[in-house]
Amino acid sequence: MIPKHITIIMDGNGRWAKKIGKERLFGHQAGAESVRSCCEYAVEHGIEYLSLFAFSEENWGRPSDEVSGLMSLMIKSIIEEQPVFMKNNIRFRAIGDMSRVPEDVVSHIRECEKATGSNTGLTLIVFLSYSGKWDILQAVNRFVEENAGKFPEMKMDADTMNRYLSTYGIPEPDLLIRTSGEMRISNYMLWQCAYTEFYFTDVLWPDFRKENLAEAISVFSKRERRYGKTGDQIKCGISGSN
Ligand code: FPP
């Protein structure tokens, strides 16, 4: 089965650059090529959602020249890729705590979201200034604010939580890929990845290309997703939890 939503923790840019004696930013720039390659693959194979963990809440703690270099790279990539998004019918979205993101980056993001908003092919989502805990907290806080006076009768449930999360309307990831040999989720989509299949590879992100994505999808397609049910129930068509 082809996954509807693939998400990638793009890791290993710094190590890739170090291996060839270059600055970390050189690795991030090379990583932008891998983004392009994966988008192309996703378009060619009819993947509906491709999301990328580009910059975490914790990444704000990196050296300031690396942070500003990444923000400039984001603007450069948006400017360069917008015509490609239009040509390939890609809808671009960015999710995260934009209150911390420099204004010029946010305005380029909003402009690109607007320009590509009616495209109906691949939805490309960039998670920027994002963390899973931030997402859950903003959801709970908004829920409490909007429902003041209705407690304690009013309860939070899973459907309500989904509506308040920043990913509302986007299906939960079927496949999460993390590159560079690290095997953790690093405060990414904590709620949304409850039943996601994980695929870890030693390949560093700047080396990750279409064939690596194809291999991850091939491994995914052989997995049996049981959602807490038995294998026999799944074979009989008793559906999973999402
Ligand atoms: C993790 O590698 C990577 C990042 C924090 C940045 C990812 C950004 C890009 C690939 C830039 C292009 C993105 C878009 C959406 C155009 P790391 O720096 O943690 O690597 P290390 O673990 O080897 O140090």
Whether residue 159 lies inside any domain: the answer is no
Query: In the predicted model, is pLDDT for residue 10 greater than 60?
Result: yes
Whether residue 140 lies inside any domain: the answer is no
The predicted pLDDT at position 165 comes to: 98
Average pLDDT over residues 58-63: 98
Whether residue 147 lies inside any domain: the answer is no
End-to-end CA, the chain: 15
Q: Whose CA is nearest to atom 12 of ligand 1?
A: 32
Query: In the predicted model, is pLDDT for residue 241 greater than 70?
Result: no
Question: Is the shortest distance between the CB of 69 and ligand 1 below 6 Å?
Answer: no
Mutate to test the pocket of ligand 1, among 28, 40, 59 (most ligand atoms within 8 A of CB): 28
Q: At what angle do helices 24-44 and 64-87 cross, to 10 degrees?
A: 20
Q: Whose CA is nearest to atom 1 of ligand 1?
A: 11
Whether residue 148 lies inside any domain: the answer is no
User: Residue 82 maps to which CATH number?
Assistant: 3.40.1180.10
Average pLDDT over residues 31-54: 98
13, 59, 135, 141: which one is catalytic? Answer: 59
Average pLDDT over residues 174-189: 98
What is the rounded CA–CA span in Å between residue 75 and residue 106? 9
Whether residue 110 lies inside any domain: the answer is yes
The predicted pLDDT at position 120 comes to: 98
List pLDDT tens digits, range 161-171: 999 999 999 99
Residue scoring higher pLDDT (44 or 239):
44
Active site residue 89: no
What mean pLDDT is reported for the chain?
96
Average pLDDT over residues 86-105: 98
Active site residue 59: yes
Average pLDDT over residues 85-91: 98
What is the rounded CA–CA span in Å between residue 15 and residue 181? 11
Domain limits for position 46: 5-131+172-236
Query: Given pLDDT bands bounded at 50, 70 and 90, which one contains residue 242?
Result: very low
Whether residue 149 lies inside any domain: the answer is no
Mutate to test the pocket of ligand 1, among 9, 13, 20 (most ligand atoms within 8 A of CB): 13
Q: How many domains does the chain have?
A: 1
The predicted pLDDT at position 239 comes to: 62
